[in-house]
Amino acid sequence: MTRSFESHLNDEVATVTMGNQVAAIIEQGAVIYLHGDLGAGKTTFTRGVVQGFGHAGKVKSPTYTLVEPYELERANVYHFDLYRLGDPEELEYMGIRDYFSANAICVVEWPEKGGEFIPVPDLDITLSYVGNERKIVINSASDRGVAIVEKLNKKQ
């Protein structure tokens, strides 16, 4: 049973705020896939998630390092950017499975490049341009994802 949530995001602040809202709802670990063209707001949304878990500093895209860890009081958040990944097997060499523990929040940009080396997500999110705004579509892909999307829909 899939659930969906859609919203228009007027600007960068709205995109960060949406990330904050998702972070506030996640009670346990979660795997979040982010899809969208370059510049569509994937890292901006991730900044909102990471800050929603209590990080006060900058949030940068780990384009060259593949993963940026944030070890926070409420949860460990791992931000993956697989855009420059040459071969999905490289993920096995970096110990990718260790990141996807029960309490971790894993946000994965460009998940299609990870192949079978990354788990099925709880949330499958697409960010796209609609004129000068962005549109976010959040689809559940697990029971945990259904619960998160249902809470988002209740808040709207």
* pLDDT at site 130: 87
Tokens of 151: 């809470």
* pLDDT at site 1: 72
Across 19-45, average pLDDT: 92
Least confident of 23-27, 78-82, 152-156: 152-156
pTM, rounded to two decimals = 0.93
* pLDDT at site 146: 94
Across 54-62, average pLDDT: 87
Distance from C-alpha of 80 to C-alpha of 135, rounded to nearest angstrom? 22
Nearest CA-CA partner of 107 in 122, 90, 117, 95: 122
* pLDDT at site 95: 86
- Domains in the chain: ranges and CATH: 4-151 (3.40.50.300)
Helix, strand counts (H, E) of the chain? 5, 7
